[in-house]
Amino acid sequence: MKLAVRTTTETDLPRLLELLDQIDDSMYPQRDDAGQASRLSVFRRIAADSNQHLLVAEADGRIVGTVHLIVVPHFSRTCKPSGLLESMVVDEAYRRKGVGAALLREVQRLALAAGCYKLALSSNLARRGAHRFYSRLGWKRTHYGFSLEPPIAR
């Protein structure tokens, strides 16, 4: 399998959305679905932001995985940014073939190039396979994650 990781382009959007639909969100029944127009607008905002890297992995010319790196500027440490990961998914038919690991290698390279002092992500407690995946690649469970689900205002 010939594997390549690159930045997502607007023409990739339909396939990207198919992939993102493979993330099981059934643990969040209260979340609404967005329309295609909003998704295109979100894509354009991400693509225009030099602190965001929306990546896709291609295997034999087909997009089979994605991850989104957000470089967050802040004041802690020596004012170095941190890197936040979102929306990591690999096509069901291509899992356990090294695609996820290749995406994370590129994330780590980009985060280093951006001067990040750490990378972080949160993963729902139910995603046990994903937890094994991150642990296997050297990621440590160092924090508790907290979230406020809709309605956020109480």
Considering CB under 6 A, how many residues would be counted as binding ligand COA? Answer: 18
Nearer to ligand COA, 5 or 90 (CB): 90
The CB-of-30 to ligand COA minimum distance in angstroms stands at 19
The answer to the question of residue 17 lying near ligand COA (CB under 6 A) is no
Judged by CB under 6 A, the chain residues 72 through 131 that form the site for ligand COA are 88-90, 95-101, 123, 127, 129-130
The CB-of-130 to ligand COA minimum distance in angstroms stands at 4
Q: 54: how many CB neighbours lie within 10 A of its CB?
A: 21
Nearer to ligand COA, 104 or 116 (CB): 104
Residues lying near ligand COA in the complex (CB under 6 A)? 23, 88-90, 95-101, 123, 127, 129-130, 132-133, 136
